[in-house]
Amino acid sequence: MILNKYKFNYCININTNKPIIILLHGFMGNINEFDEAIKFLAEDFSYLILDLPGHGKTEVVGGDEYYGMETTAQAIINLLDELKIDKCHLIGYSMGGRLGLYLTLNFPERFIKVVLESASPGLATKAERLERVRRDAQIARKLSRSIIKTDFADFLSNWYNQPIFGYIKNHPQYDRMIESRLQNNPQELDKSLRFMGNGCQPSLWEKLQENKVHILLLAGEYDEKFIFINTEMAKVCEFAQLKIIKNAGHNIHFENTLAFVENIKYFLSTVS
């Protein structure tokens, strides 16, 4: 059984008679990724949060292939079964958004509504995927060499210089976020990037066209790359709508938590 290949670190909070949300963090995040947003969501929703493979305290006890998207998705479905969660809402950020979209398209009967923050359906062509695998392998090697904390801190500083993150380094809680990222094991992150990265995941563009689960796409106004990707996603999927969030780059839930929560509450509470 695939679930037996993982020792998930998770937390479930049941708010009686309130719908449940599963929240999936991004690359280098962990179970605490959405803590600030959950403070505002917990009154109206139950929630399930977890460390994804390669992150936090979750352990992969199978081979490296169990860091991949297909096996991870099946393990999450098995976890929902174990927790007797038949249907739920889903929120996924970045890598967790790509995983969330895979779950939505392959297990649509399990999800009521889905929010994808700064996510994508992967790369459309084999050539793009091969190039991304090559680039991710270079990044993964840098991660695997981050033996001491200062090396990992330098890696994170360079990571957040990417244009998609906008002005995140100016955020008053940026240092706190970095400390949270530093709790991860770089060698485990290496495996996550090599097996769950954009280049090695299946392209979901064609399958997205057939989707009938209502999806809210969120992109930050400073994240031009993902505004473009999500605009294209909304064009090919009639059940997807795009909302561009002000005063945020790629990491919307961190940079503009209130706008993030307001849009989620409105979307999840409205009748489709």
Q: How far apart are the first and last CA of the chain?
A: 36
The Cα 102–Cα 207 span in angstroms is 9
Which among 240, 211, 201, 242 is positioned nearest to 96, based on CA atoms?
201
- Note the pLDDT of residue 237: 98
Confidence tier at 148 by pLDDT (50, 70, 90)? confident
**pTM for this model (two decimals):** 0.96
Q: CA dihedral in degrees (259, 34, 214, 209; nearest 10)?
A: 110
- Please answer whether residues 139 and 186 qualify as being in contact, where contact means their C-beta atoms are separated by less than 8 angstroms: no
Q: Which structural domains are found in the chain, ordered by start?
A: 2-122+202-269 (3.40.50.1820)
Residues 202-246 have pLDDT tens digits of 999 999 999 999 999 999 999 999 999 999 999 999 999 999 999
- Note the pLDDT of residue 229: 97
Asked if residue 139 has pLDDT above 90, the reply is no
Backbone angles phi, psi at 122, to 5 degrees: 90, -170
Residues 112-136 have pLDDT tens digits of 999 999 999 999 888 999 999 898 8
Residue/partner pairs of 228-236 with CB below 8 Å, 24 or more apart: 229/120, 230/116, 230/119, 230/120, 233/120, 233/121, 233/208, 236/205, 236/208, 236/209
Give the type of residue at 129: R
More confident: 140 or 46: 46
The Cα 58–Cα 69 span in angstroms is 15
Mean per-residue pLDDT over the chain, rounded? 95
Residues 58-93 have pLDDT tens digits of 999 988 999 999 999 999 999 999 999 999 999 999
Tell me the residue ranges of DSSP E strands in 25-181. Answer: 46-50, 59-60, 88-93, 111-117
